[in-house]
Amino acid sequence: MGVDVRIVAYANKKATAERACAAAFERFAELDTIMSDYRETSELMRLCAHAGGQAVPVSRDLFTVLQYAQVKARRSGGAFDVTCGPLVRLWRKARKSKTLPSQAEIESARGKVGWKLLELDPRRRTVRLLKPGMQLDLGGIGKGYADDCAQEVLKRNGIRSALVEAGGDIVVSDPPPGQVGWKIEVPNAIDITAAPLLFANTAISTSGDLEQSAEIGGKWYSHIIDPRTGMPLTDRIQVTIVARKGITSDGLSTAISVLGPEKGCAVARTYPGTTVYVRFATSAPNPGQPGRFDKR
Ligand code: AMP
Ligand code: MG
């Protein structure tokens, strides 16, 4: 999935921690072979090869993630959309080459994007992509799910106190021994609390990593796309979500980046136990600099 994964675990014996972490990393590796769009042979990519054709039976993991994704797509009115692959690829190329795509290229990619073009059959556990050329992208939800799964493996292996992090997505279980929570700096919350927040048995995801945006012609283009317009975000929003599960916090942080604070919070309210932190970068960035956030 293109990120480093970090696990911090507490156990009475070193051997217990090592065994548990090895199993959790193995689970991550397994999910990478399912969800990665960097690997041509991943289950996701093999599924996309059938776009425009028959329904394809898929693994329980892939089906679960796609089901969650479709619920988010519906609740966000299509702002979160895992069928956004053709647009993500087009704009990834643009950010690398520093050249904007043509309107015709954007329209062509948009024609292959839309969450209603993704059909799930829970009874047969099959997936059908209605149009040829469709490309699924789980970059906005897969890491949170993988964190959840890794925590389950750690628990099964006797670890109750752990932090799992993949990219901007973190899931924590019980606090470290003798503490009331995991100390995590939520960048967007620092000016409210003036102290790192303490977390236990929860998930924390941040979207809007400035390092992943690029300047083309004096404007900053995010790696997050608004599937409804085919354009990347340019408002330099940063969103952190605290939720019960990683699959929820990850998808929501991406969705709310697209929707903005007001509409975004309305969607977050449909997920009980969720907190939303939003801020915008206001200062015009210097060339080559990711810019600063100075207004919440
Ligand atoms: P995150 O960092 O979790 O916000 O995820 C960003 C990644 O999600 C991008 O790099 C794309 O792979 C993918 N993505 C971009 N825009 C969207 C969107 N509107 N809905 C779902 N996934 C998206
Ligand atoms: Mg996300």
248-274 pLDDT tens trace: 999 999 999 999 999 999 999 999 999
Q: 166 CB less than 6 Å from ligand 1? A: no
Q: 250 CB less than 6 Å from ligand 1? A: yes
For residue 193, give Cα distances in angstroms to 189, 199, 233, 295. Answer: 6, 14, 28, 15
13-67 pLDDT tens trace: 999 999 999 999 999 999 999 999 989 999 999 999 999 999 999 999 999 999 9
Starting at the edge strand found earlier in the chain, the sheet holding 126-129 runs 56-57, 126-129, 118-121
For the record, the structure tokens of 91 come out as: 């704009």
Cα of 178 from ligand 2 centre, angstroms: 31
Non-local (6+) Cβ contacts of 54 within 8 A are 128
Region 213-235: mean pLDDT is 92
All residues with CB under 5 Å from ion ligand 2: 140, 207, 250, 253-254
pLDDT, position 191: 57
pLDDT, position 192: 57
Cα of 262 from ligand 2 centre, angstroms: 18
Region 193-201: mean pLDDT is 80
105-137 pLDDT tens trace: 999 999 999 999 999 999 999 999 999 999 999
